[in-house]
Structure 1
Amino acid sequence: MGDKANAHPGAAGRAATADHPSSVRNVVLVGHSGSGKTTLVEALALTAGAVNRAGRVEDGTSVSDYDEIEHRQQRSVQLSLVPVEWGGCKINLLDTPGYADFVGELRAGLRAADAALFVVSAADGIDGSTQLLWEECAAVGMPRAIVVTHLESARSDFEEMTRSCATAFGGDDPDAVLPLYLPLRGEAAADGHAPVKGLVGLLTQRLFDYASGERVESEPEAGQLPSIEEARNRLIEGIIAESEDETLMDRYLGGEEIDVKTLVQDLERAVARGVFHPVLAAAPAADGARQGIGTVELLELITGGFPTPLERTAPTVTARDGTERPVAACDPGGPLVAEVVKTSSDPYVGRVSLVRVFSGTLRPDETAHVSGHGLTDHEHEARALHEADERIGALSVPFGKQQRTLAQCIAGDLACVAKLNRAETGDTLSPKDDPLLMTPWDMPDPLLPLAVQAHSKADEDKLSQGLSRLVAEDPTMRLEQNQDTHQVVLWCLGEAHAEVALERLRSRYGVQVDVVPHRVSLRETFADRATGRGRHVKQSGGHGQYAICEIEVEPLPGGSGIEFVDKVVGGAVPRQFIPSVEKGVRAQAAKGVAAGYPLIDVRVTLLDGKAHSVDSSDAAFQTAGALALREAAADARIHLLEPVAEVRVLVGDAYVGPVMSDLSGRRGRVVGTEQAPGGRTLIHADVPEIEIGRYAVDLRSLSHGTATFSRHYARHEPMPAQLSERIREQAQEAVA
C-alpha cells in the first residue's frame, strides 16, 4: 500500500462506474475550515486523470465548482461528491465543509461514507472540533486515516504534527497513529525552510521524488537510513500489535525479518477494521505537474486499506408495522434500501437528491416508495411523517457543474436522482409493495433563531413555499410559526448558516426577506389580589346594551392557567350570561392587560352584577367581563413573566470556569454539574430565553468550538422590574 506500482488512472470525460460493491470506496474528508480538503480532492482528481493539468473538467470549470454561494463566501458550505477511478475501483470522495455551521452536511457525509480521511494542517494544528469528530467516528467504528497538508508552509513540521496526531487521536494507544511516509525535503531556501519534494516509504525504504512533476522511485542514500530505520521499526511494531496473526509479534521479537508483503496485508486489514490509523503527507502539484505529492500513496491507501461497502453494517430499518428488519448485506440483487443523504435544487433540473444505496439496485424510471420520519425538536414539530410513491428520475454523478449520466446505481454506490419531488434529506427509498424506514442519523439541534418577514407583497406570496423547500433540503434548519409572537422563525446553527439560508431564499427561490428582532413569548400575571367592575351601558335609540359585573382576581401558582369561578347569588347575573362574562374575561386575558402579552395563572371570580330584562345580551356581558378585568389590572401590580429554559452545556474542563461565569452574566442559575467522558463537564442551568438568543454563536467563541448545548422550555418566571418596565414602555410607544 503506497509503495506499490502506479495503478491505472481513471479516464476523464466519462462517469466513474462500479459493477460490484467490492470495487467501491466511499470516503469522507473531514477537517476544520482551511485545512485543505477541497485542494486535496482536486489533487486526487488530477492524479486519477479525472481532470486536466489545470485542474479543470471539459467545460472549463473546477471539479469543486458547485455553488455560487461558496464562491462568494470563499468557503465550502455544502457536501460535495467527486467520483474518481483508481486501481480498478470507483472512489467516491465526499468533501465536507469545515465550518461548524454546516455540520449537518458533514454528518450526511459520514452517513454516506465507509471510511474517513481526517485532513489536518501542519501550519494550524488540530482544533477541538476535529477531535470531537474523531471521537464520533470512533464510537461507530469507522476506519480513519490522517492526511497532513500545508507542508509547504514555513511553519510546518511534519514530525511534530504526527506526534500531535498521536496525542489527539491515539487515546490510550498512541502507537495506533503512526506515519507511513516521511517527507523528502529539498535544499533549504534563504529563510532556512526546506521545501518538500517527495516522500520516503517506511515499509519498503524507497524514495518517491515528485520534483519532476511525476513520481520517480529511487533508493535512499546511506545518510538517510538511520532516521528511516527508527521510524520504520516503530511503524512495524505498531502494525504487528494490531495484527490478527498472534504469532507475528513473537516472530518479530525473535529477530525474524517480516516481509513487506505480510506487513502491507496486515496494515490494510488493521486500517479496514478501524484499529490502526496511518498518517500520510500531501502537498499540491507544482505548475504543470500531473501529480501532487502524496496523492498516489493516498489513492493506494484508499483502494487497498479502506473497507468496501460489503464490510459495513447497514443502518436499522423498520417495516410499516414497526417491526425491525435486517437489511441484505449490500446485495445488488436484494430488495431496494437507499437513503437520501442530501437534497439540493438545480435551476434547470429542479430538485436533485444524492442517494446512498445500501441494498438492491436503483434504476431510472422504476417506482420506489419514499418515506420519512416526523422529527420533533423542543416543543415544536420540525417535519411531518410523510410517504409517497415516486418514479425514479434520471441517475447521474456530479463532476463540477456537470451531471454525468448513469444507467444504474448498485448497492454500496452513490448517485444523484433527479426530480424526487416528495423526498427530503434523510428519507428512505424502498420497494413500493414493502415500504421500509431507515433509522435517521443524529443531527444537531438548530439553536440560533432568525425571525424573518417578507420584503414585499410579491415575496409574501412565495415565502411559505421557499421556506418549506429550504428546510426540506437541510434537516439542520427548523421552521417555526410562533403563534404567540406571530413571527416566522427559521432556526439555524449559526450566523454563517443563517446567511446561506437567506442567500438561497433569494437566489434559488426568488424570495427577498427582512430580518427582524426575534421576540420571546412573554406572559403577564397579577402580583396581588385585585377587584374590578365592568359597566357596559349604552342607550342610543332602539335596542340598548346593558351589563354590569364585578370580579375579583387573585394570582395562582405557575402553570395554573386561567381559572374562572362563579359566586353570584340571587340571580344578580342571569345564568345564561355567566358563560358570556367568562368568555369576555378569557378573550381579554389572551390580549393582555399591561403590555399586550397573554395573562396566565390567575383565578377570576365573578361576585356580583346587574342585568336588564330587555337590553342585556351575550355581547354586552362579554364586553363587561373584559372591562372588569382591565379595571382590576389598572389598580394592581402586574408582573411580566419571561420564559426560562433548562440549558445543558457540555464543555471541556478547561472552559468550565468561563462558561459558568458567562451563564451567570445572562441571569442564569447553575443548578448542577457532572463529569462527562473525555475530560468534559456537563453543566445544568436555568437561563431566561431572552438572554440566550445568540448563545449558539457566543458559546462557540467562548469554547473555541468545542462545547455543545441544548435548551428546553421549563417555565415562565417574573422578569426583573427594570427590564419589565422597559418592555412596558416599548409596548406603549408601539401603540401610540
Structure 2
Amino acid sequence: MADRTGQRATHRATQHDLCMAEPDRIRNVVLVGPPTGGKTSLVEALALHTGAVTRAGRVEDGTTLSDFEEFERVHQRSAAMSVVPVVHGGTKINLIDTPGYVDFAGEVRAGLRAADAALLVVPANAATDGSLDEATRQMMREGVEAAVPSAVVVTKLDHARADLDLVVAAVSEELGDRVLPLFALTTEHAEVTGLTHLLAHEAASEEARAAHARLVEAIVEEAEDEQLMDDYLEGAEVGEEALVADVAEAMRHGLFHPVVPVCAATGVGLTELLDLVVAGFPAPASHPSPEVFTPAGKTAPPLTADPSGPLVAQVIGTTSDPYVGRLSMVRVFSGTLRPDQNLHVSGHASSFFGDASGHEDHDADERTGALSHPFGAASVPAPELVAGDIGCVSRLTTAETGDTLSTPEEPRVLKPWTAPDPQLPVAVEAATRSDEDKLSGALARLAAEDPSLRVERNAETHQVVLWVLGEAHAELALERLRSHGVEVAVSDVVVPLRERLTGAAKGHGRHVKQSGGHGQYAVCDVEVEPLPGGAGFEFADRVVGGAVPRQFVASVEKGVRAQMELGVRLGYPLVDLRANLTDGKAHSVDSSDMAFQAAGALALREAAESVGVVLLEPYDKVSVLVQDALVGETMSDLSARRGRLLGTDQVGSDRTLVHAVVPQTELVRYAVDLRAATHGVGTFTREFAHYEPMPEELAAKVPRRTR
C-alpha cells in the first residue's frame, strides 16, 4: 500500500518551480464534481504526493504556508474556489478546486474560465442504483458545457460500496460512448493496491484483455492517422507509443474522456493521474483563449499565450480583507504581469449581458501592487506572472471578478463567463446607525467579489435586496458582510403592489383654511376613470369659463399625481388613471399653487372612496427546468401558487422546460422550494410580465404600507 504522505513524490515544488516562465510547462486543471466527490481530498493528496506540502505544511524551500490542519480546513470550505500548484515531471500543474454545491456554481464557472482542462470527479459509490444522482450530473454538465478537454477521475476506491464498472457505465450515459478506462485495478485480498495500464500488452486477465481491445478500437476510430486505422483493420499490432500519442491528441480535442481510478487515502492512481494531466491535457498555448474586444466593443485580434505579447489577464476571483485590502486572483492569457505596473481595468459585463448582470460598466487606470502565486490559504511571492499562469495581484481597488486587466496603451476586454442567475431575494437592513454608514461600502465589496450576487436598492420599497442563488449563498453573503464589520438584519421582502380604481367616479376637493393673514383657498371637481393595464396617466382640463384660473390647472394635476403615488387604499401607487378637471373655484388673494395641489389630492381620494379600489400584484413569466419525471409535480406546484401554465418544451433527452405566469408574491421563496423538490438541481428564470388584480381574500390580509 502506498503511503499517503507520498514517499514516491517525483518532484518537490520550490519557489523557483512555482515561478517558471515557460507557458508550455504549465497545465491549468479545474476539478469539478459533487460536494461528496472527494475533490478536496484529491487535491490534498496530490499536493502531498508531489511534495508541494509536507505534513509540517511547508514548501520545500522553507516558505511557511500554515500547519497542515489549516491547509485542510481552508480547502474544505464549500464556498470558495482555491488554487494549489504542484510540480510533476518538470511541469507546473495549477489544481483549481471548486465547490460542489449548486449555490456556488459561479465559483465553478470561474474555475472553468481559468482552466484549460477539467477533471470530472465522481466517487466510486456514486452509481449504486445504476445511475448518477442529479447533483453529480449537473456538475458534470457544467464541465461539459464549458467545452474544455476533460478526464473522469473515479475517487474513493476504498469505499465499501465502490463499483468502478457501474460508475463508468453511468458516466457514459451522460457523456457518451467515448468514456473508457485507461487502467484496470490491481487488487490483493479484496483491496485495491495499484493500477495496470490498459494500453500495455501485459494485461493478464480476460476482462483486462477485453477492456484493452475496446480501448484500442475507440482510440483508432478517433485517430486522424489513416495508416493507424489501416494497420488495425489488417490485424497488425498497434504500437503502445502510437496509441498513447493518439489518446493525448483525442483528449486535447475533447473527443475522448479517459477514466482514471484514484484513491486519495492510499495513494493509488496519483502518479498515473499526474502523468495523464501532463501528457494529455493542453498547455495554455494549445487551448483557445476567450473572445477579446476593445472597450468600445470592437473585436480585437485573438490572444496567444505569449509572454512577450500584449498584456491581457482576467480576474477570476476577488477577496477583500480589512487589513490587506482587495486581492485579485487572475489568469494571464497574454503577456507578462509585473509588480508596480500601470494597468487598465475594464469591467463591461452589462455590455455583454445587459442590465441583468447587476454590475455597471467601468474603466479605470491603476498600478499593481505585489504579485504572488496562490497556494490554498497562503501564497508564495512572485516576481512576475507569465502568459498561461494563475496568480494574485494586490492593491487593485476597482477590479471586480470578471474584469479584464491590460495596458493603458492597448486596453482590452475579455468576454466574461456567464454567471448563474440569482433568483432568491433576501432583504437586509443595517442593525445600527453605525452599520448603516458602512453598509454601502460593504455591499460594493460584496458585489465586486461575487458576480453571482446582485445588489438591488429598490427605490419604491426602500429595501436593500441581495439576490442570491440559495440559502447557503445567502448565509455566505451575510457572513462576508460581517467580516467587513457590518451587522445586518434580514427582513421580509416587500413585493411592489399597485392600486387601481374599479370604475368611474367624481370627486370634490375643497381646501379652505383661514388663520390670519393670507389664507388657503382652492376648490376643484374632478372626474376619474380607470384605464387599461399599462396605459399610465392622462389628465385633461375640461373647465368652462375660467372657474379654475389657468395657472392653477397644472397645480391640480400635480396634486392628483402626488396622491396617486401615495395611494388611496393601502399606500401603494395608484396606476392607469384618466382624470378630467371639470369645475372649481378660486380666491383672488388666498388661492395658491399649494392650495390647488391639496384640493386635487382631496378630490381623488373622495372619488376613490365612492367607487372602490382593487389591489394589483405583479406577475412574472417563469421558465422552470426540471427532470422529466418531475414535470407533473412542478406543474401542480405552479398551479398551487396561483400560476397559469403556458406550455412545455423538451430540453435534451431527459429534461423539460415548464412555462407559466406566476404572482411575484408566490415566488419569493420559490428558489428554495424548487431546490428541495428537485433534489437540488431544478432551476428557473423569470422576467416581469404584467400586473393583475389580487384576489380580495388575499388583498384583505395585506397591511398598509409604511414609508
TM-score by length of 1: 0.90
Aligned to 2:195: 199
Identity rate, percent:
54
Paired residue type of 1:429: L
| The one of 543, 554, 563 aligned to 2:518 | 543
* 2:66 counterpart of 1:61: yes
Q: Distance in 1 between matches of 2:635 and 2:69?
A: 42
Would you say the 8 A contact 2:511–2:520 is kept in 1?
yes
TM superposition shift of 1:62: 5.8
Q: Distance in 2 between matches of 1:368 and 1:64?
A: 38
Deviation track 1:646-696 (CA, whole Å, cap 9, x = no partner) reads 111223322221111111111111112222334332222111111111122
Q: Distance in 1 between matches of 2:438 and 2:26?
A: 42
* 2:702 counterpart of 1:719: no
Q: Distance in 2 between matches of 1:46 and 1:610?
A: 90
Paired residue type of 2:22: H
SS of equivalent to 1:726 = coil
SS of equivalent to 2:289 = coil
Deviation track 1:204-252 (CA, whole Å, cap 9, x = no partner) reads 266xxxxxxxxxxxxx7xxx52222121111111221211212323322
1:106-145 pair list within 5 angstroms: 106-125=108-127, 126-145=132-151
* 2:232 counterpart of 1:252: yes
Would you say the 8 A contact 2:120–2:143 is kept in 1?
no
Would you say the 8 A contact 1:316–1:439 is kept in 2?
yes
Aligned to 1:27: 29
Paired residue type of 2:367: R
Would you say the 8 A contact 1:12–1:51 is kept in 2?
no
Would you say the 8 A contact 2:295–2:346 is kept in 1?
no
SS of equivalent to 2:364 = strand
Q: Distance in 2 between matches of 1:474 and 1:359?
A: 24
1:428-467 pair list within 5 angstroms: 428-467=404-443
Residue 703 and residue 62 in structure 1: after superposition, are their counterparts in 2 closer, same or farther (change >3 A)? farther
1:265-304 pair list within 5 angstroms: 265-286=245-266, 292-304=267-279
Deviation track 1:681-727 (CA, whole Å, cap 9, x = no partner) reads 22221111111111222222222333321111111111111111111
| The one of 652, 656, 660 aligned to 1:685 | 660
Aligned to 1:486: 462
Q: CA RMSD in A?
A: 2.1
TM superposition shift of 1:335: 0.6
Deviation track 1:460-494 (CA, whole Å, cap 9, x = no partner) reads 01000000100011011111110111100011011
| The one of 211, 227, 232 aligned to 1:231 | 211
TM superposition shift of 1:380: 6.2
Long gaps (5+) in structure 1: 1-5, 188-193, 207-219, 287-291
Paired residue type of 2:152: I
Paired residue type of 1:370: V
| The one of 57, 71, 78 aligned to 1:76 | 78
Aligned to 2:387: 411
TM-score by length of 2: 0.94
* 2:561 counterpart of 1:555: no
Residue 497 and residue 414 in structure 1: after superposition, are their counterparts in 2 closer, same or farther (change >3 A)? same
Deviation track 1:76-119 (CA, whole Å, cap 9, x = no partner) reads 20110101111111100000000000111000000000000000
Q: Paired residues, what number?
A: 692
Paired residue type of 2:137: Q
Would you say the 8 A contact 2:65–2:379 is kept in 1?
no
Aligned to 2:682: 707
* 2:601 counterpart of 1:626: yes
* 2:405 counterpart of 1:425: no
SS of equivalent to 1:255 = coil
Long gaps (5+) in structure 2: 1-7
Q: Distance in 2 between matches of 1:53 and 1:605?
A: 83
Aligned to 2:243: 263
Paired residue type of 2:481: L
Paired residue type of 1:180: L
TM superposition shift of 1:643: 0.6
Aligned to 1:86: 88
Paired residue type of 2:488: V
Would you say the 8 A contact 1:38–1:64 is kept in 2?
no
Residue 102 and residue 63 in structure 1: after superposition, are their counterparts in 2 closer, same or farther (change >3 A)? farther
Would you say the 8 A contact 2:34–2:136 is kept in 1?
yes
Q: Distance in 2 between matches of 1:202 and 1:537?
A: 98
Which segment is superposed worse, 127-136 or 142-151?
A: 127-136
TM superposition shift of 1:350: 1.4
Deviation track 1:621-646 (CA, whole Å, cap 9, x = no partner) reads 11111111111112222111111111
Paired residue type of 1:157: D
Would you say the 8 A contact 2:619–2:663 is kept in 1?
yes
1:588-603 pair list within 5 angstroms: 588-603=563-578
Aligned to 1:210: none
Would you say the 8 A contact 1:327–1:359 is kept in 2?
no
Q: Distance in 2 between matches of 1:571 and 1:693?
A: 52
Would you say the 8 A contact 2:65–2:378 is kept in 1?
no
Which segment is superposed worse, 108-117 or 565-574?
A: 565-574
Residue 378 and residue 89 in structure 1: after superposition, are their counterparts in 2 closer, same or farther (change >3 A)? closer
Q: Distance in 2 between matches of 1:66 and 1:480?
A: 36
Aligned to 1:8: 10
TM superposition shift of 1:272: 1.4
Q: Distance in 2 between matches of 1:341 and 1:501?
A: 18
Deviation track 1:41-68 (CA, whole Å, cap 9, x = no partner) reads 0011111111114777664736795798
Which segment is superposed worse, 426-435 or 488-497?
A: 426-435
Aligned to 1:659: 634
